[in-house]
């Protein structure tokens, strides 16, 4: 095996040329650190190209206590306060990238995620940062004060290692969980990984009939007997269950619930703008004004057509029953189903179809001010491989940028000594 010697200059190896790896490489190099980036794919930053449906939702100016999740949520907020959305915007402006804002969500002005990757790579090239592709790091050893970083055919030496390999989601875009495994081999606790920001699979045939429907709805999750999270927005019904941004935002709680063998139910309110009594009144009003309509036809005045039909069948009512013949019991049942449709969540989309990975290197073993391991001096972490996951809205890139920047700055301070 060929050994690449570190010369007298202190060297940083960054494992992974994704969002956090590229930002940290730029910051470290700007501060005079000798940086080498190793990337397992044939080109850097593939995932960035796929973000925000190809438009890249870079960051967001709004956040609350549920924006970031993980065993110790406060860790993420602590780091993000040190490099927040305004710092992200200034950083990209320094690369010549300007943004547009929509309700707090920020996107590149070009409307293209590829611009974000381009400006990062052009800056890396300008700073002469070597990014070696098709170099998957498979082992890391610490000997005295140096790291040995192994790929299949080479061993690189460095004084600092920053792991930026991402989670396990969407492996075809690069991240395969391998740097989380490296952290584990170096003695770190790993919070169980779970697909997050993903679709959920519901029990029963209801969804076969409503596939393709998009409606405004409200969902509450019930895990065992406790109502936990809720969200409101556009719900997408698929042939296997529920999807869309609103579901993505709730999904990690449902996924962990299922992984822990708990009973997980979604309670869907298909008419969130009316309360139960108002919904019932509307049905009784329809009975009065359009007695000649069938129940699904009458419901169409209030609900999506496919959904109206499926709800009628779900309530065991004949689809040709005229609304004038609807009994009070039937009216109660319809209102109850529209306002509180309960579905058991049986499964979830796997890592390949999830946008983000929850879990990862335990934040208990990372210094929040530096992103350095508390166990291995000189080893740092950034991005999705850490036990921090954000909800939808630019928060995961923000986390990757903030944690990458904090790690790079700490390493730079160490090097400058």
List contacts with ligand FAD (CB under 6 A): 15-21, 38-41, 46-47, 50-52, 56-57, 136-137, 164-166, 169-170, 173-176, 178-179, 355-356, 383-384, 394-397, 400
CB 65 → ligand FAD: shortest distance, Å? 18
- Give whichever of 78 and 293 is closer to ligand FAD, judged by the CB atom: 78
In angstroms, what is the minimal distance from the CB of 207 to ligand FAD?
23
Task: State which residue, 384 or 414, has the beta carbon closest to ligand FAD.
Answer: 384
Burial of 318 (0-12, 13-18, 19+ CB in 10 A): exposed
The rounded distance, in Å, linking the Cα atoms of 376 and 31 is 23
Helix (H, G, I), strand (E, B) or coil at 60: strand
For ligand FAD, the closer of residues 131 and 223 by Cβ is 131
Indicate the angle between helix axes 113-126 and 19-30, nearest 10 degrees.
Answer: 30
To ligand FAD, the closest distance from the beta carbon of 15 in angstroms equals: 5
State the DSSP string of 268-299.
EES-TTS-HHHHHHHHHHHHHH-TTSBHHHHH
Comparison of 310 and 388: residue with beta carbon closer to ligand FAD = 388
State the angle between helix axes of 395-416 and 73-82 in degrees (0 to 180), rounded to the nearest 10. Answer: 70
Whichever of 41 and 279 has its CB closer to ligand FAD, that residue is 41
**How far is residue 402's CA from residue 358's CA, in Å, rounded to a whole number?**
17
Of 41 and 200, which has the nearer Cβ to ligand FAD? 41
As given in the structure block, the two tokens for residue 251 are 């999904």
Who contacts 242 (Cβ-Cβ below 8 Å, separation ≥6)? Answer: 199, 200, 202, 207, 219, 235, 236, 266, 268, 343
Residue 250: CB minimum distance to ligand FAD, A: 17
Question: At its nearest, how many Å lie between ligand FAD and the CB of residue 82?
Answer: 17
Residues 6+ away with beta carbon under 8 Å from 204: 343, 344
Cβ atoms 152, 54 nearer than 8 A: no
Least distance from ligand FAD to the Cβ atom of residue 78, Å: 18
Reported in sequence order, the residue ranges of 7-67 that DSSP labels E, i.e. its strands, are 11-15, 34-38, 59-60
Three-state DSSP class for residue 182: helix
DSSP 14: E
Q: Are 179 and 386 in contact (CB under 8 A)?
A: no
Q: How far is the CB of 331 from ligand FAD (least distance, A)?
A: 43
Nearest to ligand FAD of 296, 390 (CB atom): 390
Residue 308 Cβ vs ligand FAD, minimum distance, rounded to whole Å: 33
**Nearest residue to 347 (alpha-carbon basis) of 207, 180, 246, 173:** 207
CB nearer to ligand FAD: give 56 or 379: 56
Q: In the complex, which residue's CB is closest to ligand FAD?
A: 18
| Residues 67 and 80 sit within 8 Å (Cβ to Cβ) | no
Distance of alpha carbon 165 from alpha carbon 220, whole angstroms:
34
Q: Which is nearer to ligand FAD, 116 or 221 (CB)?
A: 116
Report the residue number, 177 or 296, with the smaller CB distance to ligand FAD: 177
Q: How far is the CB of 323 from ligand FAD (least distance, A)?
A: 44
Q: Say if residues 30 and 193 touch (Cβ distance below 8 Å).
A: no
CB of 151 to ligand FAD, least distance (A): 8
Q: Which DSSP symbol is given to 250?
A: H
């Amino acid at each position: 095996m060929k050994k690449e010697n570190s010369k007298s200059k202190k060297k940083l190896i960054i494992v992974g040329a994704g969002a956090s790896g590229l930002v940290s490489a730029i910051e470290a190099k700007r501060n005079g650190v000798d940086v080498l980036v190793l990337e397992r794919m044939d080109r850097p930053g593939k995932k960035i190209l796929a973000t925000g449906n190809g438009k890249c939702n870079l960051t967001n100016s709004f956040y609350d206590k549920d924006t970031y999740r993980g065993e110790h949520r406060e860790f993420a907020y602590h780091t993000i306060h040190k490099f927040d959305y305004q710092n992200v915007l200034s950083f990209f402006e320094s690369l010549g990238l300007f943004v547009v804002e929509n309700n707090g969500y920020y996107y590149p002005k070009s409307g293209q995620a590829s611009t974000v990757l381009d400006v990062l790579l052009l800056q890396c090239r300008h700073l002469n940062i070597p990014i070696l592709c098709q170099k998957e790091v498979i082992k890391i050893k610490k000997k005295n004060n140096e790291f040995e970083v192994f790929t299949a055919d080479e061993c690189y030496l460095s004084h600092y290692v920053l792991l930026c390999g991402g989670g396990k989601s969407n492996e075809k875009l690069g991240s395969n969980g391998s740097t989380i495994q490296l952290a584990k081999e170096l003695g770190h606790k790993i919070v169980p990984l779970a697909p997050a920001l993903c679709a959920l699979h519901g029990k029963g045939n209801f969804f076969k009939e409503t596939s393709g429907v998009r409606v405004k709805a409200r969902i509450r999750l019930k895990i065992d007997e406790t109502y936990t999270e809720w969200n409101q927005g556009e719900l997408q019904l698929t042939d296997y269950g529920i999807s869309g941004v609103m579901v993505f935002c709730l999904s990690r709680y449902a996924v962990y619930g299922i992984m822990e063998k708990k009973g997980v139910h979604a309670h869907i309110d298909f008419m969130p703008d009316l309360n139960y009594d108002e919904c019932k009144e509307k049905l009784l009003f329809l009975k009065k004004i359009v007695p000649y309509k069938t129940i699904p036809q009458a419901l169409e005045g209030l609900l999506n057509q496919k959904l109206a039909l499926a709800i009628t069948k779900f309530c065991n009512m004949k689809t040709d029953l005229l609304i004038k013949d609807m009994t009070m019991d039937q009216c109660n049942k319809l209102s109850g189903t529209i306002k509180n449709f309960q579905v058991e969540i049986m499964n979830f989309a796997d890592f390949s179809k999830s946008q983000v990975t929850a879990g990862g290197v335990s934040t208990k073993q990372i210094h929040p001010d530096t992103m350095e391991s508390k166990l291995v001096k000189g080893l740092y972490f950034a991005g999705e491989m850490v036990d921090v996951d954000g909800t939808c809205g630019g928060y995961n890139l923000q986390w990757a940028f903030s944690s990458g920047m904090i790690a790079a700055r700490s390493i730079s301070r160490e090097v400058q000594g």
